[in-house]
A and B are shown apart, each in its own frame.
Chain A
Amino acid sequence: MNELNFVRGMAWHDLAKPFFQGNPKHSRAGFLLLAAAGYREEGTVALCHIAGKDLGRNLEQYRQLNGPPLPALLLLCSPLDRLAASTYSFMTQGFSDPAYHAWHNPFTHLPEMQPQLHSRFQARDLSSGFEAPLRAHLLAQTPTAWQMPLNDLLERSRKDLPLVETRLPVIAGKNLLDLLLPYSETYPERTYAPVNDTLLSAHTRLSAVLAWVVYRNLKRASKDILNWTLTLETDTARLPDSSDAIDFVSLRDKTLFSAGEALVRDHIGAQLVRISLSGHRQWTEEAARLDDLKGAQQLTALLRTALKRAITGQLGVVDLADFLWLSESTFDLVYLLPEAVADPLELIQAGYDQALAWLVDGADNPDSLQKLLEADFRAADPPLDLARPRALAALKAELACLGYSVSIEPVQPPQGHPSYGAFTAAFGQRLLEAYRNSLNQSQTPSASLQTALKTLTATEPLAAEEVCSICSTHPVYRPLADRVSDDYFLRKVTHTFRDDPEQPCLSCIARRALAHKQVQVEALHRMIRYDPVTGRLQTGPATDPPMDVPPLLLHTGRLTGLDDYLDLRAAFVRRARRTNSPHPLDIFPTVSYAADSLGNIALLTLQASQAVFAAYSFRSARQQLRELDRIKPLPPVWKIFAEDYDAFCNKVAAEAPHLLDQVEVIQPHLARVLAREARLSHFFEDVAPAFEAAGIRVLALETRYPVGRWLIPAMLLPQALKHLGQTIAVNLLALPDSELDDQARQFLKLAAPPLLDGSIVVFKQKYPIYLVLEAARTLQAELGPLPAAYGLRLGLTDLRGILSSTAPRQALVTLDWLPELLALNDRVDRRSVTLRAADLGRASQEGHWAQAVADARLFIRSGWWGLPETEQQKAAEALTAPGAFEPILFFKTMSRE
């Protein structure tokens, strides 16, 4: 078995777990399904990733299959699986009877919606309540030709019948593996509370990475196990040194290390490496326009993919490019490199150079910049030499200036632990600590950055007119810049400011060209109708979901030539370039797409807090849930959890009080943290569709953990926040009801951590984006540490009229209070709020009496709000509550009634 099969096998070892609970069943099903998909060797990893008698039975079935000899390396799969497990199970300590099975939200522990079955994953009987319908769902997805043999494999697994080998050929490009993998994204590693919050995919990724680390370290030490094969006997197997294979994996006496466990322990030494694409981050955040930002993001995403490929290429396992990284975010890639990799910095530098070259002009890269520029400027007359070697070399040099930085945290195996269980727990903590430290560690500037600095300082100083007017860093690309005034076609990568077209450098041309593929907004295709015969464009409101035309979008226009660009102010339009495009037009929105009729835009930024690394205690929640239920009956899904969890905790408290902490406090673990991060990423992706479904125009700037950024019309801010609150409740915290009513908020207070910190910055559409991003960062810094408020905190500020990168905080809202604030905002009128603001503004002259006057006037104004008399006083009191007025004033300033 080679490195590739071993690591991939560990990445897929629980592939069949969603369909079959229990060790022997899901391991054998894993083998059958992987073999059927054409990955037989990986299947043997699934077959052997268990221990004890179950492993013996599997080996016996394999012996009867009469397959090729099994490598002894497979005996490390179970210790590796346990090392990667996110929980050090108390289930092994006599509490193996969960009352129900569920997949719980990692933050609130409410049952998650299972997308394949469109139901919440919570079942008393897992087999009939969940696994059988899921198997039926799988069969329904498969091509007809597969259905019988696949059903036979599943039934064989269900009834514990002997193993067989069946191959299901690829049909119409469809592979069985591709059908199976998505189930791991929506199935928990464990199905019993409260540790059922970690995705199987997070666990298996970590398993694969750990397997690779151990494999490389064993290889460096030239260990025999890499070459040994097993001799299969009835219900067991022997190693070449005659030792028993079952005992090699684990011993009955759990206080001792088995040989396999010791081997893993002694070869798990690693270093956690975080590669931060800091130069790319800076390039993105310094973008003045939307297409610069989107283009830079696209370039970073391409580079990240290329870097993953290049690093694994340097390690000689290019096919593991998608398996070896631990986590990735927009600007970060995290690896766990084995000790056997002597010089990670050198490895990364070589990988980075290789990635950059592949990105620019890699012959086997279908999306290389060379191909992109060739396609984009093919109609230039006379032709440009953008895709020629000299220009590409210059482009490479410019992009190399976007450096990266690296932080390295050693992860040494912990010493002195009496059992493998204790060792895995300690290692898990150490690994997480390294992961967390790498975020805060001062990072080593890369060699590439040093090279870039040398390059820049060695360059002769350029005259101002010779420097790119977009990035102000690189020399202007003259062949394009000199012709851009006269050649309309070439202006597609430049903008004109006061009749002066921009003078771009090569990297900015590439960035703008990349943006053309990225910033399409589906809703615009429903708003702009095109008549291909006359070339006329006509705009109108979108339907399904209904959405108004952006006020700044020009109403009509005409496309004349093939490469014609039409500037409709809120969007640029051209005929679709790709032949397989579903739309007749390519439409690229500008920032103005998200502007309201007054040209005002709100930037909503949400940032994941440090709570993703925290331990979550359910102790107080458990104690107070009964009280909540007494006040108002709990929703059924939560009640089942509360009752069963409570009963389980009581049982543990009675029988093994020393284990109660493990049940009541969910300890962080890397796989669990990765699952939390994934949940946040999914949530960020859900925000824009939620706004659009509510008829709110939105431009998503960033939707990947740890930051989400969206542009929305400032006038629609209250509506947008209402839908944001609901999206957080339903999509992030798995609340069963879309309304954040009192009871729901009581739940969240008890169970949800302070997850999201964010800001809203209101600005004019003409402002450069970098200014707004900087204001959002400053505001975030001003807010300070996130208080223990659950869910969300948002700082609000208005950048208009300030004209600086810093904006003072004007208001603060939390998820707890958001529904009440928005309801209050609907009840009070704008005039009352602005009058009160003026009254409060006199505080410098009148001291606290200004507040009294303002309050008194507000109570009097409450008669104008069209509310019943009894409600007027309540509304006025709510508005004078501490912290309530500022957000309402902010909302009212944004919206015109």
Chain B
Amino acid sequence: MKDNPIKLAYQAHNYVDRAAYRHGQKKKSDNPAKTAPILAAAMEQFGQAGLPLWKARRKAQQVVGDPRIARYLEKLGWADLKAFLGTIALFLKTYPEDETEVGMVQFQDRGQTQLDPEALGQQALALSNQLLKTHRDNNLNKLKRMADRVRVARNKWEALATLAQFYPLRGVPDSVVNDLVEQLSVLHLRSFQDLMARALLFYEAQSKGWNPNAQRSKSGQANESGS
């Protein structure tokens, strides 16, 4: 079974010596964070006729610059190679620029836990409350866009790439994205998608005045009165 190009990109981005570029040991203009999207754009521009696959692979190996990933690139087709180049830049972007930044947490696909409705509700509410703490800095539209893209992800890697796309980004709290990466590591994709969608639903409603505690006390009353 062939490897997912995004997975490869995620593995590959770990081999990139980001410090070397940061400290000037390597030319910044060779930084794959910049060169990979350019190569992907060239592939798009010239097409397979103008830029043969073998040539594109070789260029990609140069871009990544690490021989450990080169053998994987050999197995990638045209579309996957483009996806690889497109996402490795995203992942590289998630690394801190300096020591003051933390960077996006490492993703490890550790499990496929499915959330039951109770856990889903609780975790979504917790996430929503977390978002409320930075409410003034949040951009609801960006958050919604992120959730919408996660919703259509076909696998965890696509979801991860989406998260990376929104990290770091003004209006999307880093801490929340990190939490989401943690959740993605352990949850089944469907549960993760539900969690994000629901958390955002709760957050939007809470920002419009909805009080989940009032609702809970209401349903408590209803249960007590037997209705």
A847 and B117 form a contact (CB under 8 A): yes
A872: B residues at CB distance < 8 A: 208-209
Q: Give per-residue flags for A856-893: 1 if the beta carbon is below 8 A from chain B beta carbons, else 0.
A: 11111011000000001100110011100000000000
B186: A residues at CB distance < 8 A: none
User: What's the minimum C-beta distance from B132 to chain A, rounded to whole angstroms?
Assistant: 13
Judge whether B154 is part of the interface by a CB distance below 8 angstroms.
no
Once bound together, how far apart are the Cα atoms of A852 and B205, in whole Å?
A: 10
Report if A859-B215 is in contact (Cβ < 8 Å); known contacts: A847-B117, A876-B210, A882-B227: no
User: What's the minimum C-beta distance from A105 to chain B, rounded to whole angstroms?
Assistant: 33
Report if A856-B210 is in contact (Cβ < 8 Å); known contacts: A849-B118, A849-B121: yes
Within 8 Å by CB of A857, from B120, B205, B216, B227, lies: B205
Within B155-203, the residues touching A (CB, 8 Å) are 198, 201-202
Judge whether B145 is part of the interface by a CB distance below 8 angstroms.
no
A857 and B201 form a contact (CB under 8 A): yes
Closest to A870 in B: B209
A848 and B219 form a contact (CB under 8 A): yes
A285: B residues at CB distance < 8 A: none
B221: A residues at CB distance < 8 A: 882
Judge whether A125 is part of the interface by a CB distance below 8 angstroms.
no
Once bound together, how far apart are the Cα atoms of A850 and B198, in whole Å?
A: 11
Closest to B222 in A: A882
Highest count of chain A CB atoms <10 Å: which of B125, B210, B215, B227: B210
Judge whether A845 is part of the interface by a CB distance below 8 angstroms.
yes
A860: B residues at CB distance < 8 A: 201, 204-205, 208
Report if A859-B205 is in contact (Cβ < 8 Å); known contacts: A847-B117, A849-B120: yes
A882: B residues at CB distance < 8 A: 218, 221-222, 227
Judge whether A855 is part of the interface by a CB distance below 8 angstroms.
yes
Interface residue count for B (Cβ, 8 Å)? 22
B205 and A880 form a contact (CB under 8 A): no
Q: Give per-residue flags for A662-685: 1 if the beta carbon is below 8 A from chain B beta carbons, else 0.
A: 000000000000000000000000
Within B102-131, the residues touching A (CB, 8 Å) are 117-118, 120-121, 125
Once bound together, how far apart are the Cα atoms of A863 and B212, in whole Å?
A: 18
B205 and A856 form a contact (CB under 8 A): yes
B210 and A855 form a contact (CB under 8 A): yes
A880 and B218 form a contact (CB under 8 A): yes
Chain B binding surface, main DSSP class = helix
Once bound together, how far apart are the Cα atoms of A102 and B206, in whole Å?
A: 55
Once bound together, how far apart are the Cα atoms of A414 and B74, in whole Å?
A: 112
B212 and A852 form a contact (CB under 8 A): yes
Within 8 Å by CB of A855, from B117, B118, B205, lies: B205
Highest count of chain A CB atoms <10 Å: which of B118, B204, B208, B227: B208
A859: B residues at CB distance < 8 A: 204-205, 208-210
User: What's the minimum C-beta distance from A399 to chain B, rounded to whole angstroms?
Assistant: 48
Q: Give per-residue flags for A821-858: 1 if the beta carbon is below 8 A from chain B beta carbons, else 0.
A: 00000000000000000000000011111111101111
A845: B residues at CB distance < 8 A: 117
User: What's the minimum C-beta distance from A191 to chain B, rounded to whole angstroms?
Assistant: 45
B215 and A862 form a contact (CB under 8 A): no
A856 and B117 form a contact (CB under 8 A): no
A881: B residues at CB distance < 8 A: 218
B208 and A873 form a contact (CB under 8 A): yes
Interface residue count for A (Cβ, 8 Å)? 24
B215 and A852 form a contact (CB under 8 A): yes
B210: A residues at CB distance < 8 A: 855-856, 859, 876
User: What's the minimum C-beta distance from B130 to chain A, rounded to whole angstroms?
Assistant: 16
B125: A residues at CB distance < 8 A: 852
A877: B residues at CB distance < 8 A: 209
A847: B residues at CB distance < 8 A: 117-118
B227: A residues at CB distance < 8 A: 882
Closest to B122 in A: A849
B215: A residues at CB distance < 8 A: 851-852, 855, 880
User: What's the minimum C-beta distance from B197 to chain A, rounded to whole angstroms?
Assistant: 10
A853 and B198 form a contact (CB under 8 A): yes
B117 and A849 form a contact (CB under 8 A): yes
Once bound together, how far apart are the Cα atoms of A877 and B221, in whole Å?
A: 16
Once bound together, how far apart are the Cα atoms of A880 and B219, in whole Å?
A: 11
Once bound together, how far apart are the Cα atoms of A876 and B222, in whole Å?
A: 19
User: What's the minimum C-beta distance from B51 to chain A, rounded to whole angstroms?
Assistant: 47
Report if A856-B202 is in contact (Cβ < 8 Å); known contacts: A872-B208, A882-B227: yes
Report if A856-B120 is in contact (Cβ < 8 Å); known contacts: A851-B215, A872-B208, A882-B221: no
Within 8 Å by CB of A876, from B198, B201, B202, B209, lies: B209
Once bound together, how far apart are the Cα atoms of A852 and B123, in whole Å?
A: 13
Closest to A842 in B: B117
A873 and B219 form a contact (CB under 8 A): no
Once bound together, how far apart are the Cα atoms of A851 and B118, in whole Å?
A: 12
Within 8 Å by CB of B117, from A846, A862, A873, A876, lies: A846
Once bound together, how far apart are the Cα atoms of A853 and B206, in whole Å?
A: 11
B198 and A873 form a contact (CB under 8 A): no
A855: B residues at CB distance < 8 A: 205, 210, 212, 215
Once bound together, how far apart are the Cα atoms of A556 and B160, in whole Å?
A: 69
Once bound together, how far apart are the Cα atoms of A144 and B129, in whole Å?
A: 85
B205: A residues at CB distance < 8 A: 855-860
Closest to B128 in A: A856
Closest to B117 in A: A846
Closest to A856 in B: B205
Once bound together, how far apart are the Cα atoms of A845 and B219, in whole Å?
A: 16
Closest to A883 in B: B227
B202: A residues at CB distance < 8 A: 852, 856
A850: B residues at CB distance < 8 A: 117
Once bound together, how far apart are the Cα atoms of A265 and B202, in whole Å?
A: 76
Closest to A851 in B: B219
Once bound together, how far apart are the Cα atoms of A377 and B120, in whole Å?
A: 76
A856: B residues at CB distance < 8 A: 201-202, 204-206, 210, 212
Highest count of chain B CB atoms <10 Å: which of A850, A859, A876: A859
Once bound together, how far apart are the Cα atoms of A851 and B210, in whole Å?
A: 12
Once bound together, how far apart are the Cα atoms of A858 and B202, in whole Å?
A: 11
B201: A residues at CB distance < 8 A: 853, 856-857, 860
Once bound together, how far apart are the Cα atoms of A852 and B118, in whole Å?
A: 11
B204: A residues at CB distance < 8 A: 856, 859-860
User: What's the minimum C-beta distance from A266 to chain B, rounded to whole angstroms?
Assistant: 55
User: What's the minimum C-beta distance from B90 to chain A, rounded to whole angstroms?
Assistant: 30
**What are 30 A-B contacts with C-beta separation under 8 Å?**
A845-B117, A846-B121, A847-B118, A848-B219, A849-B121, A851-B219, A852-B121, A852-B125, A852-B212, A852-B215, A852-B216, A853-B198, A853-B201, A855-B205, A855-B210, A855-B215, A856-B205, A859-B204, A859-B208, A859-B209, A859-B210, A860-B201, A860-B204, A872-B209, A873-B209, A876-B209, A877-B209, A880-B215, A881-B218, A882-B222
- Given A856-B202, A880-B218, 5 more A-B residue pairs with CB atoms under 8 Å apart are A846-B117, A849-B121, A852-B202, A876-B210, A877-B209
CB-based closest 10 A-B pairs? A856-B205, A873-B209, A849-B121, A859-B210, A859-B205, A846-B117, A859-B208, A855-B215, A860-B204, A856-B201
